[in-house]
Amino acid sequence: MQFTAAQIALMINGKVEGNPSAAVGAFGKIEEATEGQLAFLSNPKYEEWLYQSSASIIIVNDAQELKQPVNATLIRVPDAYSAFAVLLSKYQEIVSQQLVGIQEPSYISKTAKLGEGIFVAAFCHIGEHVRIGKNVKLYPGVVIGDGTVLGDGVVLHAGVKIYHECILGNRVVIHAGTVIGGDGFGFAPQPDGSYSKIPQIGNVIIEDDVEIGSNTTIDRATMGSTIIHKGSKLDNLIQIAHNVEIGSNTVIAAQAGISGSAKVGNGVMIGGQVGTAGHIIIADGSKIAGQTGVTKSIKNPNKSHNGTPATEFTHSLRIQALTRSLPEMEKRLQELEKSIQQLLDEKAKG
Domains assigned to the chain: 3-97 (3.40.1390.10), 101-312 (2.160.10.10)
For position 3, what pLDDT does the model report? 92
Separation of alpha carbons 336 and 216, rounded Å = 55
For position 238, what pLDDT does the model report? 98
Q: Is the dihedral of CA 225, 230, 236, 238 positive or negative?
A: negative
For position 350, what pLDDT does the model report? 66
Active-site pick, 242, 279, 305, 315: 242
Separation of alpha carbons 256 and 143, rounded Å = 25
For position 347, what pLDDT does the model report? 81
For position 96, what pLDDT does the model report? 73
Predicted TM-score (pTM) of the model is 0.81
Choose among 197, 194, 195, 158: nearest CA to 178: 158
Choose among 79, 260, 236, 254: nearest CA to 186: 260
Q: Which residues of the chain have pLDDT under 50?
A: none
Contacts of 14 (CB under 8 A, 6+ apart): 8, 59, 75, 76, 77, 83
Catalytic residue at 242?
A: yes
Long-range interactions of 266-275: CB distance < 8 A, separation 24+: 266/229, 272/235
For position 19, what pLDDT does the model report? 96
